[in-house]
Structure formats: C-alpha cells, structure tokens
C-alpha cells in the first residue's frame, strides 16, 4: 500500500519540554501504518547505534531509512565544529532526498539547533522550503528541536510547543535511561 497525501505539511515540535523527538517518531509510526516511505535525518545527536536508541532500533526494523548528521553535544570537545560541518552536509543531502520524491515523510530531528546555533542560514533554509513545498512529490516534513526560529514557525503548517513543568533528570543527579530518554 503506497501512502498518498493531498498537500505536503511542515510540522514543527519545539519548546523546552521533553517529547519532541518522541512526537516525531509517533508521526513516523502513523505514516508507516499508511504505507509511507519514511526517513529520519538526525542532526546534533550522537550516533543512535552507539546510544542504543530504542526508536532507532524499532523504526529501522520497520524499514525506515535513518541517517546521522551529528556528533553529540555541541559543548563537548570538537563537537561544535564537527556538528556545523555535518549540518551543512546533512542539509545538502536532505535537499536531494526531498527533490527525489523518494519519501512520503521526512523527519529532521534536532534540526532547529542547526538554525539557532548558526550552522545553517534560517532565511536560506526557509526560502528553499517555501520555494519547493508546492512541488509534486514534496514529502511531509517533521522538524524538531528547541528554539525554533520565528521564520520557520511562520512557514510551518503546524507548530506544537512542548513545555517543561517538571523533569526527572533535573532531580538528584539522575542519568538518562533506556526506554525513557533513548
């Protein structure tokens, strides 16, 4: 069963709360249920195989293409410089995937950081998306990350802001754990 859609949407999950990537992965699961061809392009975060990410393991088994364009936290070692380089390479690849019409839904996970940190030019990205969105074969795009720029918010068809009221990792020096954070 091939997925179809009337018009492409750009969905943004942003804010300081937990759950932006989880919401995007939920969109992927829903799309897969409709026979969609899905791709996750993950920015900033370290390799999900090294992290042993549950969403990576599950979705790849279901046929999702998953590509990594990040080296980890920007404040660790040379990651800031490497993440900037990977963001540029990743965006060029994402444009090729979008233009190929090979996918029905593409997640750009943690992509807002590439804009807020200045790795990529927000105006250039938003202009490209705006110029290409109406073209046949343009996929639904799901973009995640904190601090979504106002230009991206204006361009998006849906924006959800996840807020943080309370977070278990901020308490008692707790560490990230499988099934909850990854």
Across the beta sheet with 65-69, the strand order is 65-69, 38-43, 105-109, 140-144, 10-14, 158-161
- Is 176 inside a domain boundary? no
pLDDT per residue rounded down to tens, the chain (182 residues): 456 667 999 999 999 999 999 999 999 999 999 999 999 999 998 877 777 789 999 999 999 999 999 988 777 778 889 999 999 999 999 999 999 999 999 999 999 999 999 999 999 999 999 999 999 999 999 999 999 999 999 999 999 999 998 888 877 778 888 888 77
CA dihedral 108, 99, 90, 33 (to 10 degrees): 30
- Is 181 inside a domain boundary? no
- Is 177 inside a domain boundary? no
Report how far apart the first and last C-alpha atoms of the chain are (Å, whole number): 30
- Is 70 inside a domain boundary? yes
Output the pLDDT for position 2: 56
Answer whether 108's CB lies under 8 Å from 43's CB: yes
Output the pLDDT for position 141: 98
Paired strand residues for 38: 105
Domain that holds residue 47: 10-170
Output the pLDDT for position 5: 63
Output the pLDDT for position 168: 86
Helix (H, G, I), strand (E, B) or coil at 79: helix
The structural domain count of the chain equals 1
Rg of the chain, C-alpha, whole Å: 16
Q: Measured at the alpha carbon of residue 62, what is the angle toward residues 57 and 67, in degrees to the nearest 5?
A: 60
Measured distance CA(109)–CA(143) in Å, rounded:
6
Whichever domain contains 103, its CATH number is 3.40.50.300
Q: What's the length of the chain?
A: 182
Answer whether 14's CB lies under 8 Å from 144's CB: yes
Output the pLDDT for position 178: 82
How far is the CA of 169 from the CAs of 10, 88, 166, 175, in angstroms? 30, 31, 9, 6
- Is 66 inside a domain boundary? yes
- Is 175 inside a domain boundary? no
- Is 134 inside a domain boundary? yes
- Is 180 inside a domain boundary? no
């Amino acid at each position: 069963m091939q997925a179809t859609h009337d018009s492409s949407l750009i969905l943004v999950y942003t804010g300081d709360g937990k759950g932006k990537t989880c919401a995007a992965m939920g969109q992927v699961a829903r799309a897969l249920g409709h026979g969609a061809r899905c791709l996750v392009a993950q920015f900033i975060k370290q390799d999900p195989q090294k992290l042993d990410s549950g969403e990576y393991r599950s979705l790849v088994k279901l046929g999702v293409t998953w590509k990594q364009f990040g080296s980890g936290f920007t404040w660790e070692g040379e990651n800031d410089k490497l993440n900037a380089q990977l963001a540029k390479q990743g965006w060029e690849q994402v444009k090729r995937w979008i233009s190929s019409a090979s996918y029905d839904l593409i997640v750009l996970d943690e992509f807002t950081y590439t804009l807020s940190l200045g790795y990529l030019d927000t105006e250039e990205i938003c202009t490209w998306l705006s110029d290409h969105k109406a073209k046949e074969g343009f996929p639904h795009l799901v973009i995640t990350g904190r601090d979504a720029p106002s230009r991206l918010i204006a361009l998006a068809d849906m924006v959800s802001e996840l807020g943080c009221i309370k977070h278990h990792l901020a308490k008692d020096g707790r560490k990230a754990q499988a099934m909850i954070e990854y």
